[in-house]
């Protein structure tokens, strides 16, 4: 049994294995349509979701499994009953649990007491399932991530953290531009930099969006105001105003650079309509690949890959 909590738990070989499986599942969906026949996947979502919920729900169905969705008020992890008891109970009914929540510790705690795989569908610390789809998309369109420069511009949030983990493990070249007070968490950065010696990765942090974007093959951004940060909106909009991905910033990147966003997008804030709807945008290809990587994660953690 394997959990899927954070990409930092995996080697480059293991991540590549899941990515290769994602590609195979996408190319030959019929081959896997009964791979999880008879299984039942539980989806506990304490945060709203469009892509993650749909990817794992549809993914389970397309692999032959059933799925149960638990809305935020149904379980109330740690409130209605302990996370340990939820893990012990659901392990008796389900074959895997996908948790989308706020505190990362909830995912870790659930995995500790679950005897079936626990999959992190997003926490405030990391978003590993998203970044698998992102790497898959980059390599489909641009090729090996070790042979290009990627720039992440915006908030040093959970998406940024998982990008740092993925690129440092796989040997990519990632330049992260954030305002000084909104840099990614220091322990995540330090762990990523330590991996660079072994993987050949290059990790650079800056507060200059133009430096990060210059000659980049990939420009990636995310919302400035994540779920749970709504009270900071006025301050964040002011702080991040120079970090918008717009035509001017994109002009600094390579001519064939692609633009990525994990969605949902706050159009007019972190990214302009012109860019997200432009010919260099791959955000919907990126979104589609959430389905294929979700299926691969379900297969990999089940041991039926």
Q: Where are the domains of the chain?
A: 7-127+289-300, 130-286
**Per-residue confidence band for 1, with pLDDT thresholds at 50, 70 and 90:** confident
| Rounded Cα–Cα distance for residues 299 and 60 (Å) | 9
| Rounded Cα–Cα distance for residues 16 and 139 (Å) | 11
**pLDDT tens-digit map of 55-89:** 999 999 999 999 999 998 899 999 999 999 999 99
Residue 223 DSSP SS3: coil
Is residue 159 within 8 Å of residue 127, measured between CB atoms? Answer: yes
Q: What is the pLDDT of residue 181?
A: 95
Q: What is the pLDDT of residue 113?
A: 98
**pLDDT tens-digit map of 278-291:** 999 999 999 999 99
Q: How many CA atoms lie within 13 A of 288 on its CB side?
A: 9
Is residue 29 within 8 Å of residue 55, measured between CB atoms? Answer: no
| Rounded Cα–Cα distance for residues 62 and 37 (Å) | 10
Average pLDDT value over all residues in the chain: 97
| Rounded Cα–Cα distance for residues 43 and 7 (Å) | 20
244 is catalytic: no
Which position among 51, 236, 290, 292 bears the catalytic label? 290
The whole-model pTM stands at: 0.97
Q: Do domains 7-127+289-300 and 130-286 have the same CATH topology?
A: yes
Does domain 130-286 bear CATH number 3.40.50.1370? yes
Q: List the structure tokens of 205.
A: 């942090």
**pLDDT tens-digit map of 97-125:** 999 999 999 999 999 999 999 999 999 99
222 is catalytic: yes
CA angle 84, 18, 201 (to 5 degrees): 100
**Per-residue confidence band for 305, with pLDDT thresholds at 50, 70 and 90:** confident
Core vs surface per residue 117-143: b (16+ CB within 10 A) or e: bbbbbbbbbbbbbbbbbbbbbbbeebe
**pLDDT tens-digit map of 248-299:** 999 999 999 999 999 999 999 999 999 999 999 999 999 999 999 999 999 9
Which position among 3, 51, 100, 104 bears the catalytic label? 100
Which position among 104, 127, 195, 261 bears the catalytic label? 127
Cα dist from 98 to 37, 41, 141, 270, whole Å? 18, 7, 29, 29
Neighbours of 204 (CB within 10 A): 14
Q: List the structure tokens of 255.
A: 């001519």
157 is catalytic: no
**Per-residue confidence band for 166, with pLDDT thresholds at 50, 70 and 90:** very high
Query: Residue 239: which region, alpha, beta or left (left: phi > 0; alpha: psi -120 to 50)?
Result: alpha
**Per-residue confidence band for 180, with pLDDT thresholds at 50, 70 and 90:** very high
100 is catalytic: yes
130 is catalytic: yes
pLDDT of 230 strictly over 90:
no
Q: What is the pLDDT of residue 233?
A: 92
**Per-residue confidence band for 149, with pLDDT thresholds at 50, 70 and 90:** very high
Which position among 39, 222, 244, 292 bears the catalytic label? 222
Does domain 7-127+289-300 bear CATH number 3.40.50.1370? yes
Q: What are the start-end ranges of the H helices in the chain? A: 12-27, 51-62, 72-75, 83-93, 104-113, 128-141, 158-170, 186-199, 209-213, 233-239, 247-250, 273-276, 283-302
């Amino acid at each position: 049994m394997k959990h899927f909590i954070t990409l930092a738990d995996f080697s480059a070989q293991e991540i590549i294995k899941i990515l290769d499986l994602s590609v195979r599942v996408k190319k030959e969906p019929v081959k896997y349509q009964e791979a999880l026949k008879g299984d039942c996947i539980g989806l506990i979502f304490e945060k709203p979701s469009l892509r993650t919920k749909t990817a794992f729900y549809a993914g389970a169905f397309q692999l032959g499994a059933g799925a149960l969705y638990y809305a935020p008020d149904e379980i109330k992890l740690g409130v209605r009953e302990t996370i340990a008891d939820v893990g012990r109970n659901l392990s008796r009914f389900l074959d895997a649990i996908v948790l989308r929540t706020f505190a990362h510790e909830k995912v870790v705690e659930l995995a500790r007491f679950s005897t079936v795989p626990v999959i992190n569908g997003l926490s405030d610390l990391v978003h590993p399932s998203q970044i698998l789809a992102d790497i898959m998309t980059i390599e489909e369109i641009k090729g090996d991530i070790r042979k290009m420069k990627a720039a992440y511009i915006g908030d040093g949030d959970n998406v940024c953290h998982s990008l740092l983990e993925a690129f440092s493990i796989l040997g990519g070249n990632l330049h992260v531009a954030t305002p000084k007070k909104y840099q990614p968490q220091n322990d995540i950065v330090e762990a990523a930099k330590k991996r660079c010696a072994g993987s050949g990765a290059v990790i650079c942090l800056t507060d200059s969006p133009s430096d990060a974007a210059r000659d980049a093959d990939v420009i990636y951004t995310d919302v400035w105001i994540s779920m749970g940060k709504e009270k900071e909106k006025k301050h964040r909009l002011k702080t991040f105003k120079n970090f918008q991905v717009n035509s001017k910033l994109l002009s600094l990147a390579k001519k064939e650079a692609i633009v990525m966003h994990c969605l949902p997008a706050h159009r007019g804030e972190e990214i302009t309509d012109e860019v997200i709807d432009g010919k260099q945008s791959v955000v919907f290809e990126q979104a589609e690949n959430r389905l294929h990587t979700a299926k691969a994660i379900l297969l990999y953690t089940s041991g039926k890959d």
